A and B are shown apart, each in its own frame.
Chain A
Amino acid sequence: MGNTSSMLTQYDTEEVQSHCQDLCENFPPRNLSVSSVMCLIRYSQQEILSLYQRFCQLDRNAKGFISSDEFLSVPEFSMNPLSLRLLKMVDGLNFKDFVAFLSAFSAKASLKQKVKLIFQVYDSDCNGKVSFKDVMEVLRDLSGSFMSDEQREQVLSQVLNEAAYTCDSFLTLEDFIKVFGSCKPEMDVEIPVD
């Protein structure tokens, strides 16, 4: 996608679509970088065009990626308690990886893909394991100063014990998928198509 005009050719859209699909095949499953997360869904041409327009709109000086500052200039994003965590995942992505990241939010994405994204948000150090501390940190982002650390620890230990885990156990992606079971997280965002 070399040119900066808002025109994508058919080749470009097909490239993005296959990038999304290839990623799972080319990257080894242990590599939990953002781009390997959610693929295997085929965005329609129209959706890719809309996403491209949006990407160009956010990327103000046509650098080919969106900087943190530009993400934070969207007030709705800035107000989100998890914005900083997500920012680490989306900052500096080029368009293809941007689409790959957002593919978890498509209605066509599978349960596994959605849970994978949630897992990645927790696993900020990308070591494939989510510890008690990681979950605590996300809880802290979500509840802010309205819950004390003790209350958070109490809640977390309680639910962990009930689910037959201990406070020292590490949760892997498989554990996450097991916890979700057949409950697909409601994480669908429709892409507006003009």
Chain B
Amino acid sequence: MSSTAGKLVTSRSELNIEDYLPSGSSIQEPRGKLRLLDLIDISPTLTEAAGAIIDDSFTRCFKSNPPEPWNWNIYLFPLWCFGVVVRYCILFPLRCLTLAFGWFIFLSTFIPVHSLLKGQDKLRKNIERVLVEMICSFFVGSWTGVVKYHGPRPSIRPKQVYVANHTSMIDFIVLEQMTAFAVIMQKHPGWVGLLQSTILESVGCIWFNRSEAKDREIVARKLRDHVQGADNNPLLIFPEGTCVNNNYTVMFKKGAFELGCTVCPIAIKYNKIFVDAFWNSRKQSFTMHLLQLMTSWAVVCEVWYLEPQTIRPGETAIEFAERVRDMISLRAGLKKVPWDGYLKYSRPSSKHSERKQESFAESLLARLEEK
């Protein structure tokens, strides 16, 4: 009962989830006169519901895979204990020290530059860019991050937007250490929010708030303004809108694909042998997630900068988004599912069940005509 990787929808302005889902066949192929049996046989609908209860493709996207415990042996267990000691008592303090050192250098250069060079914007921006890249490298170093970049490095050009699949907030750090992107992010509370409002503002990051309705238009406008500016840092968007577990991709939101500029896809794949980098925001806070990364052996990932794409004539934004999602999923070895990531936070709209009701009613009425 698994919904399989999708097919591109041709020339429809809205993707039909029903195309992807296993069709439990609604009451169906008109087979002669309507009988009582046909009316009370609700088994297709029940089967779909039970199928969803037993396994559904949406929940699979957000399942974190804890590593299998392998320390259950008389000789493996001491080895594992030794590993724990090394990770927590040697590596972890070293990493904290490295990170603290990095922050020290960063803050002692960033704060003066930010306040003193108020007049010379261009120079200040350049220095801040380099500094942000540096602190991100320190972060990556603090998890012993081994990142392999494939493809041409992003350059600063107007009318260009980068999109990537999203596994955790560290995606941003991994990408930022190579190029100072301006990212569009959800505004977080706590120390992350503090960093967002101070340091990330300087690279031109844009904030949104999922819970605010009017937010979409404001953000769309900000995005458009940003990509027009020649001097702004390249814009990085995570069109999934939420963290997914690096085995699947959920539907891309079309906002990034409606800006009328070139879209450069980036695919990120983490190697699960070392650590599961998926940040399950429902289960852990970001601090705990970072601590988990810092007490693992390493974070190994690959980043591919893919061929820039432009919207083809006659293609809608949604089709464009799906095409780019195909590229990213293919490159990173991810399976596609037809769900909107925001269903994590809200129920599906009633139009899906209404569509089912409509097709049921139509076939029933059609069969009624047959005598």
Q: Which of A's residues lie within 8 Å of B, judged by CB?
A: 51, 54, 57-58, 60, 71-83, 86, 90, 102, 105, 114, 117-118, 121-122, 135, 138-139, 142-147, 151, 154-156, 158-160, 162-163, 165, 176, 179-181, 183, 185-192
Contact (A80, B48) CB under 8 Å given A54-B54, A54-B55, A144-B354 = yes
**Closest chain A residue, CB of each to CB of B45:** A82
Bound complex: CA A138 to CA B347 (Å): 22
User: In this assembly, does B220 line the interface, its C-beta being within 8 Å of a C-beta of chain A?
Assistant: no
Q: How far is the CB of A154 from chain B (nearest CB, A)?
A: 8
Kindly identify which residue among A76, A86, A183 contacts B37, using a CB–CB cutoff of 8 Å.
A183
B53 touches A90 (CB 8 A): yes
User: In this assembly, does B362 line the interface, its C-beta being within 8 Å of a C-beta of chain A?
Assistant: yes
- Chain A interface SS verdict (over half): helix
CB neighbours of B362 from chain A (8 A): 146
User: In this assembly, does B50 line the interface, its C-beta being within 8 Å of a C-beta of chain A?
Assistant: yes
B39 touches A81 (CB 8 A): no
B52 touches A105 (CB 8 A): no
A81 touches B46 (CB 8 A): no
Kindly identify which residue among A57, A135, A159 contacts B35, using a CB–CB cutoff of 8 Å.
A159
CB neighbours of B130 from chain A (8 A): none
**Closest chain B residue, CB of each to CB of A72:** B347
Q: How far is the CB of B195 from chain A (nearest CB, A)?
A: 29
A142 touches B42 (CB 8 A): yes
- Chain B interface SS verdict (over half): helix
Kindly identify which residue among A77, A117, A191 contacts B56, using a CB–CB cutoff of 8 Å.
A77
Bound complex: CA A188 to CA B353 (Å): 22
Q: How far is the CB of A63 from chain B (nearest CB, A)?
A: 16
What 6 additional pairs, Cβ within 8 angstroms, besides A54-B54, A57-B63, A155-B39? A72-B347, A114-B43, A146-B357, A146-B358, A186-B44, A190-B1
**Closest chain A residue, CB of each to CB of B53:** A77
Kindly identify which residue among A86, A135, A151, A192 contacts B49, using a CB–CB cutoff of 8 Å.
A86
A163 touches B21 (CB 8 A): no
Of A80, A83, A105, A146, the most chain B CB neighbours within 10 A belong to A80
Kindly identify which residue among A51, A78, A122, A165 contacts B54, using a CB–CB cutoff of 8 Å.
A51
A81 touches B356 (CB 8 A): yes
Kindly identify which residue among A80, A160, A179 contacts B353, using a CB–CB cutoff of 8 Å.
A80
A185 touches B368 (CB 8 A): no
Contact (A77, B39) CB under 8 Å given A190-B1, A191-B54 = no
